[in-house]
A and B are shown apart, each in its own frame.
Chain A
Amino acid sequence: MLSLAGQLIIEGLGIGLVYVLLAAGLVLILNIPRVFFIAYGQFYMLGAYILWGGTVLFKLPFFISLILSILATGILGAISYRLIFYYIQNVRDNFLPIIVAAMGLMMIMQQGALLVFGTSSHGMQSEFPGLIEFGDIIVSVEKLVLIILALLVTGILYVLLQKTKIGRAMRAVSFRADISSLQGINPTLVYMVTMGVGCALSGFAGGIMAPVYAVSPDMGGIILTVLLVIMLGGMGSMLGAVLGGLILGLTLSFGHYFIGADLAQIALFLVIGIILFFKPGGLLGNPGEDLSS
């Protein structure tokens, strides 16, 4: 019984940590540049495709492909901010234009991937075959690598936000952009870096998930689950994203085992619905806060 629980917890952690990363990236983008970045899922897809292309087509080592996918998605995210959102961010009532522009970007990336890579999904060989036994719990090396990488990146993100100069600048800008620019912070640069970091997190998550699931153009649909995680955790809270991701992962993992995949999904929606009914701002969010205004 204990070993079963351990097994399910490990499985849940694996998927949950990926959602933690995805939600953390989107929370950054939602809170600092205040862009409702609905094209976020497509960056996840792009990261997965770059990893697949790197390892399968060009025979590069796994970690070099992973770094490539992080860099490419990060740079693309920063560029997309400078080319599109920079111009509509300071307009009055920028809420609708930003969403619409992000929807445009989403459609372009989605259909572009469909045209370039085709509709069929591509599986890839596991880079880390083998199983490890801890007592009764059997874990695949691949899952272990995924968990370790995800924890590592979460740690790096924490240090980046809390201990470095750019992290402090990000927090200052998210608090009041105009005042922080008086302190010598360049908000545009901070926004670009934030979009880059957020999209890179998405690309990274796509990269480490590519060997686990097959790579296909409609991977971008993950944005819905990420939004659920953010809703659950609270819109403005990084810790909420972590909590939400872990709850989601564990619920899905235990639910799959005990009540089946479809019912687990419905149960998840129910749980989130109940939580939101009593706490409209999410678990750690502030119900009064409205990022749109």
Chain B
Amino acid sequence: MTSPYKRIIGLTVLTFILAMVPLIVKSPYYMHLLIMVGMNAMLAMTFILMLRAGLISLGIAAFWGIGAYVSALLALRLDLSFWMAMPLSAIITGAVALCIGCVLVKNPGFGFIIETVVLGEIAVLAFAHLPLFGGYKGIVSIPPVDPIHIPFLFSIEFVSKTASYYLILFLFLLVAIGYSAFYSAWTGRAWLAIGLNPRLAESKGVNIYRYRLLAFVVGSAGAGLAGSFYAHYYGAIAPTTFNVFKTIYIHIFAILGGVGFPVLGPIIGAFIMILVPEVLRVAKEIEPIITGLLLILLVLFLPQGLLSLLSRRKKNARPVG
């Protein structure tokens, strides 16, 4: 645990660097990739948050999908603007997670993983079969992010990729700061205790069930926020996007960077996993095989993630979970 000051300074420097990126990168294609990096890093942060509390969820993509669908439906059926639909979809996703989590969090460990896998699949089936969600074709023509009008001064339009990049940067920081606040408050200490040794934590008076449920709900709300952005950025969503494979990729992003690094790890991991195949122009067919091999090698030889190479001091730190 780093001190709060170090964390604030680190976050400021990171923000500054990330905000400078559009000055260098001009190509819309690469901007799009960077936006995807930001969104996936948000999802990977969610994974790390749940992992801290000892929950390994294979259903993150399902909540990402719930956020996307809820936001799309709110915008299309109720004519809400993005700025209303986004927080609402995060809240609704959190509420759904609360209802489901009440049952799921009861038996963590293998049971939880199995149940989240099944949940992920049920979500895809539900999106695909219920008429409300538009079937396998999904929902199309979702309105883009509404412009912000500041009276008498200027208005911000979210048409260019650069503007979307700043929006995802803002959302990423929002989630990062939100999660960091949870980490440094008493909740973070409770999660850490649960992650290290649940039985000991319980005997010290930490209500495991309640804190795990909190982690599940907070993480799912964060995933819902990312989903809302995704729906409005892409303009169309389809159920198969949100399957279990997506969650596996989210795990890879987090683990490649290092699960001991809740903010920087996901960025590095997502950056490498998304940009390197694009730059190297690896054939789409063999890309999953390389990813799979990479996963196995990573687990065998670098279980702490790439960032652990940089910080010698944290050599003995091990992933919580």
> Which residues of A come within 8 Å of B, CB atoms?
30, 36, 38, 84, 87-88, 91-93, 95-97, 99-101, 103-108, 110-112, 114-115, 223-224, 227-228, 230-231, 235, 262, 265, 269, 273, 276-277, 280-281, 287, 290-293
**Residues B114-151 near A (CB distance < 8 A):** 114-115, 117-118, 121-122, 125, 129
Given that A96-B321, A114-B285 are contacting pairs, would A104 and B110 also be in contact in the complex, using a CB cutoff of 8 Å?
no
In whole angstroms, how far apart are the Cα atoms of A293 and B108 in the complex? 10
CB pair A104 B299 closer than 8 Å = yes
**Which chain B positions have C-beta within 8 A of A224?**
117-118, 121
B28 at the interface (CB under 8 A from A): no
Per a CB cutoff under 8 Å, which of B56, B109, B289 touches A112? B289
By beta carbon, the residue of chain A nearest B195 is: A93
CB pair A290 B292 closer than 8 Å = no
**Residues B82-117 near A (CB distance < 8 A):** 103, 106-111, 113-115, 117
Work out how many contacts link A and B, with CB atoms closer than 8 A.
121
B49 shortest CB reach to chain A, Å: 14
A156 shortest CB reach to chain B, Å: 26
Interface size on B, residues (CB 8 A): 43
Interface CB pairs A-B, < 8 A, 12: A38-B117, A88-B299, A88-B300, A93-B320, A100-B255, A103-B295, A104-B292, A224-B118, A235-B111, A276-B115, A280-B106, A292-B109
B160 shortest CB reach to chain A, Å: 35
**Which chain B positions have C-beta within 8 A of A235?**
110-111
In whole angstroms, how far apart are the Cα atoms of A96 and B248 in the complex? 12
Per a CB cutoff under 8 Å, which of B115, B285, B293 touches A108? B293
In whole angstroms, how far apart are the Cα atoms of A91 and B302 in the complex? 13
CB pair A115 B107 closer than 8 Å = no
B294 shortest CB reach to chain A, Å: 7
> Which residues of B come within 8 Å of A, CB atoms?
51, 56, 103, 106-111, 113-115, 117-118, 121-122, 125, 129, 198-199, 248, 251-252, 255, 259, 285-286, 288-289, 291-296, 298-300, 303, 318-321
In whole angstroms, how far apart are the Cα atoms of A223 and B113 in the complex? 13
**Which chain A positions have C-beta within 8 A of B251?**
100, 103
B113, B122, B296, most chain A CB atoms within 10 A: B296
CB pair A291 B109 closer than 8 Å = yes
A169 shortest CB reach to chain B, Å: 23
CB pair B289 A107 closer than 8 Å = yes
